[in-house]
């Protein structure tokens, strides 16, 4: 299994640990590596749906630690928050992440567009690593968004 697949597998494991505990929000997993490939942080969406996984994974990192690093996220980082907090895509931009590897897109109106924000900021985005597994995991969430 490639390093990308192993890191995404860990992110999916984290998301699955929180399954059923995140209210209306999907359970997302996030793993952040520094520029040398060392794990800096990891998290899943908090109980009740907040904080989001990316926010938690970035918490308590020294300023600049994630600069040039890679984030593995099971679901597209949100473009906008229903609260007035910074979105997850903006938090990744602000942290200086160089690459974001995403398992699958977020169809939710507030989530969709996060990939575009990341790319507009010059971040390399890879989509679809373990995408089929993520799509199965998020099937109920996807159905709730389309209904």
Q: Is 54 a catalytic residue?
A: yes
Q: List phi, psi (to 5°) of 30.
A: -140, 135
Query: Are the C-beta atoms of 105 and 125 separated by less than 8 Å?
Result: no
The β-bridge relationship of strands 70-75 and 99-104 is: parallel
Query: Which one of 54, 76, 85, 133 is the catalytic residue?
Result: 54
| Nearest-angstrom CA–CA distance, 118 and 71 | 12
The CATH number that domain 3-146 falls under is 3.40.140.10
**Global pTM?**
0.97
Residues 65-84: pLDDT tens digits?
Answer: 999 999 999 999 999 988 88
User: How deeply is 140 buried, as exposed, middle or buried, from its count of CB atoms within 10 A (0-12, 13-18, 19+)?
Assistant: exposed
| Nearest-angstrom CA–CA distance, 42 and 93 | 17
The band of 147, judged by pLDDT with boundaries at 50, 70 and 90, is: low
All structural domains of the chain with their residue ranges: 3-146
């Amino acid at each position: 299994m490639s390093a990308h697949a192993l890191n995404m597998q860990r992110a999916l494991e984290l998301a699955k640990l929180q399954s059923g505990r995140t209210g209306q929000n999907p359970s997302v997993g996030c793993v952040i590596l520094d520029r040398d490939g060392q794990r800096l942080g990891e998290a899943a969406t908090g109980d009740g749906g907040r904080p989001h996984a990316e926010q938690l994974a970035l918490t308590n990192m020294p300023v600049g630690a994630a600069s040039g690093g890679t984030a593995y996220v099971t679901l597209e980082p949100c473009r906008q928050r229903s609260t007035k907090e910074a979105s997850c895509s903006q938090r990744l931009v602000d942290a200086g992440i160089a690459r974001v590897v995403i398992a699958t897109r977020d169809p939710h109106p507030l989530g969709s567009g996060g990939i575009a924000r990341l790319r507009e900021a010059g971040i390399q985005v890879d989509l679809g690593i373990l995408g089929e597994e993520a799509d199965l995991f998020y099937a109920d969430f996807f159905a709730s968004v389309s209904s």
